[in-house]
Structures are given as C-alpha cells and as structure tokens.
Amino acid sequence: MTEKVQKMMNDYPVVRWTALFLIAFMMLFGYMFVDVMSPLQNLVEAQRGWTPTIFGAYASAEYLLNVCGFLIIAGIILDKCGIRFTGTLSASLMVIGAMIKYVGVSDWFQTCSFAEWLNSWWIAMPASAKMASLGFMMFGCGCEMAGITVSKSIAKWFAGKEMALAMGLEMAIARVGVFAVFSISPWLAESFSPKTIVRPVAFCACLLVIGLIFFLVFCVMDRKFDHQLGISSNDDVAEEDQFKLSDIGKIFSSQAFWIVALLCVLYYSAIFPFQRYATNMLQCNLQMDATSAANVFRWFPIGAAIITPFLGSFLDHKGKGATMLMLGSILMIVCHLTFAFIVPATESKVIAFAAIIVLGISFSLVPAALWPSIPKIMPNRYLGSAYSLIFWIQNIGLCFVPLIIGKILAATNATNAAVIAAKEAVANGADILIPYNYTVPMVVFAGFGAAALLLSIFLKTLDKRKEWGLELPNIKEEPKAE
C-alpha cells in the first residue's frame, strides 16, 4: 500500500512564489533607496555643496558599520534568532535610516541649530552630508541584513526546487527598482519648480514602509511553514545542527569561502560604486542633462532583469555556475573599457546604451550562478553566517571603493581647465555641468573585473578537484513512485 505523503507549503508553486515576491519587493524598495541620489550628483553638488569626494564619502557610509562588524553580528542573529525576527529588524532599520537621511537633505534642516552645530566640527563635510551619511549607515545595516535574510529564506523555501531561478528572480525584481529610480528620481527632482533632491528621497522612504509591511505578511506564511516542518524555536533543532560561535572559525578556514567572498567583493565593487557615478559619467561623456543620462543608464538593470530568470532556469536544470561567472567577468571588463575609451572618443549614445545593457547581463550572472552555490559548500546550520561574512567582506570593498573613486576623480581632474572654470561658475550661481574626465575611474573598474575573472577560473578548477557540484544543476529529481 502506498502511503499518502503530506505536502508542505513550499510544495505548492503558488505559495512558494508568493513568499518569494513578498520578500523580493521589500528588496526592490531597498534598492530604489540605495540609488535614489545616484542620478542627482550634479544637482546635490549645486544645492548642497557636495564635491565628488564628499559624494563618494556619502556613498561609502552605507557600508561603514557593516565593515566595522555589524554584518558578522547580523549573521549570528539570523542563525540564532531566525528569519522572521532578523527580517523584521532589518526592514525597520531601513525605514529609520531613510527617515534620518530625509531629514539631512531636507531644506529646513540646512538652517536649523543642529545643522549649525554639525557644521562646527569636522568641516570636511557639510551638515547635510553628515546627517545623510548617518542615515545611510543605518539604512545600510538594515539593507545588508535583509540581503542575507532573503538569501537564507530562499534557500529554505526552494530547497531542492528552482533555487537559482528564485534567487535570480529576486535580484531581477530588485534590478527593476534600480531601473525605476533612475527614471523617477531625476523626474521628481527636476520636473517641478523649484528643483530639489528632497522629493525623490521622501518618495523612496515611503516605499520602504510598504516593504516592511510586505515582510510582515511573509512572516505569517513562514511561521505556518515552520509549524509544518515541526520547528517552533531553535531548541527544536538537533544539538549537532545548531549554530555555534565556533562555526565562525570553520567558515574562515574554508578555502571555498574565501574564493567566493573575494569573487563577490571584486565583482560588486565594479558594479555598485559604478552606479553612483554612472549618470554623471554619461553626462560628461555625452554632453547631456541629468534626466537624459539617467534615462540611458536606467536600462542597465533591465538587461539583468530580463536574462536572470532564464539563467536561473538554465542553472537549475543544466548547471554550469562557475562557467557563467567567468563569462560575466569578461563582459564586465569589456564594458568598463568601453566607457573608459570608446564612449568618450565617439560620444555615441548607441555604444553607451549597448555597453550598459551588456553590463546588466554580466551583473545577472552573480545572483543566478553564485548565491545558489553557497548552500552547496556550506552546512545549513551556519548558512546565514556564511552569507553574512561574504557580505561583510563584500562591504569592505563597497565601503572604500566609492571613496577611492571619488578621490581618483577629483585628483585626475585637479588641473582640468574646463572643470576648474565650471566649478567657479557654479560657485557664482550658474546651473551648468562640471565636465569631469572619467577615464581613470573606468579603468579601475575594469581592473576589478580582470581580477574577478582570474578568481572565477580558479574557482572552476578547484570545483573539479573538490567536487562541490558548482557545475551541477540545482533541481534534484524526485524518486519515481512505484
């Protein structure tokens, strides 16, 4: 007699995909807030006096506390306290940080007594930048904590199922947020009189509140799923399967961990910091306004959003994850070198647009190929900590690279006559573009891609020897009923 097997919640496609979309939209709104000011570099310099160095320092602030150890703590919290608590905490931190940033860039804050006090110390940054950076630091803690929580959530809900497709779709949805904000942000800032950076920040902060509500709905579903799994607390897990602080040492001693972590930091350092400067780079190279440049760059995440689900499905059924990472690195190198030399020489919008789409395709390969591979090389009991430590090392790069790029941009343009003249005009109240030369920063980004390519080749070679299964499909075939 054949026994009837009770189906779990994640066995129903509608249920598991609904869970995915709830957490994916929380991350979508988070990604929108990350880049809400990226298309506004020229405007924020004119209205708030943020130089490229200050703008780079502000961008780095998102990752500062994570680099100082918060992400390690976040991973321990995730493995000890679970998905629901950690996700709710992270979404709340994003909302609080967004509100602080909104206060910092608001018009009324510029003349209040607290702003005057902030201006009285550490004069390297204006009060608006200091306050916005503080909020961005808190938001960054929540956003990165949410990222590892979402990764572990998908690993839980899609175990043995379409994990690469799910992780790819989650990131594709988040990429659509980047597309949207590069359209919405300059439109909100410039389409109404007077021009202001405040409106887009306020709009995206409100979306984060909606994202928090979405995650709370997911928590209800996840609680029911845990009940089916027979998990009511961490005490229900066998002692040998519980997370221990000593597991941190095991993670750090893993060769696979370091390869994946370094690959991530190099890969993402060539993407996220680039997004901060991309709109201004296109303005300078193609002689266009911020709205037009943002409308060109907004297609960057669409390439990723379109191809990621197909890549995820391919990896679930066919594998070849390590190979995909090599291809992504090659595409990244080509695109950044195109921005460095070909776009400035030709001033071709078509070439710039094509490079942006291809770079987006390159970017889709990491979430689709790499993140689903981590559960293959790390035990589940410290999977959250493994993700958090990878994110932590990644955040070290993301913290310092924007600052480095800002300093390189300022240093390589220090004697640029056109830049000097434009800055003097802006200081006298003119509303014009400061025409920075972006050649050296783009070459630096291409260098990150070259290092990532070498690591991805090494990872594929090591996978053959260690048999981690990174080239194998993610979907496990269910045994046929007799």
Residue-level pLDDT at 53: 83
Tokens 């907004």 belong to: 298
Please tell me the predicted confidence (pLDDT) of residue 38.
83
Q: Domain count for the chain, please give it.
A: 1
In sequence order, the 6+-apart residues with CB closer than 8 A to the CB of 321 are 164, 315, 369, 370, 372, 373, 470, 471
Residue 466 DSSP SS3: helix
Dist CA 271 CA 267 (whole Å)? 7
Nearest partner of 173 among 42, 66, 278, 23, judged by Cα: 23
DSSP 479: P
Which residues lie below 8 Å from residue 45, measured CB to CB, with a gap of 6+?
51, 52, 55, 426, 434
Of 298, 301, 296, the residue nearest 282 (C-alpha): 296
CB 173 within 8 Å of CB 25: yes
Q: Sort 457 into a burial class: Cβ within 10 Å, 0-12 / 13-18 / 19+.
A: middle
Burial of 60 (0-12, 13-18, 19+ CB in 10 A): buried
Give the CATH number, domain containing residue 444: 1.20.1250.20
Q: Is residue 15 part of a domain?
A: no
Q: List the one residue out of 251, 290, 281 whose CA is nearest residue 387.
A: 251
Q: Residue 5: its pLDDT value, please?
A: 52
Q: Which amino acid is at 49?
A: G
Q: How open is the CA angle 304-171-300, to the nearest 5 degrees?
A: 30
Q: Is residue 186, in this structure, part of any structural domain at all?
A: yes
Residue 464: its pLDDT value, please? 86
Could you read off the pLDDT of 358-371 as tens digits, one per residue?
Answer: 898 887 776 667 77
Which amino acid is present at 391? F
pLDDT for 2 equals 46
Residue 324 maps to a domain: yes
Domain presence at residue 290? yes
- 321 in a structural domain: yes
pLDDT of residue 1: 40
Q: Tell me which residues of the chain have a pLDDT lower than 70.
A: 1-6, 122-123, 231-245, 303-304, 366-368, 474, 476-482
The answer to whether position 218 is within a domain reads yes
- Residue 40's closest CA among 182, 138, 180, 227? 182
Range of the domain at 190: 22-226+246-466
Residues 361 and 304 sit within 8 Å (Cβ to Cβ): yes
Taking the C-alpha atoms of residue 204 and residue 217, their distance in angstroms, rounded to an integer, is 20
Give the model's pLDDT for residue 398: 81
Residue 10 lies in a domain: no
Provide the pLDDT for residue 311.
77
Count of Cβ atoms closer than 10 Å to residue 257 Cβ: 19
In a domain, 367, yes or no: yes
What secondary structure letter does DSSP report for 270? T
Rg (CA), the chain: 23
Q: Which residues have CB under 8 Å from 292's CB, separation 6+? A: none
Contact call for residues 50 and 37 (beta carbons, < 8 A): no
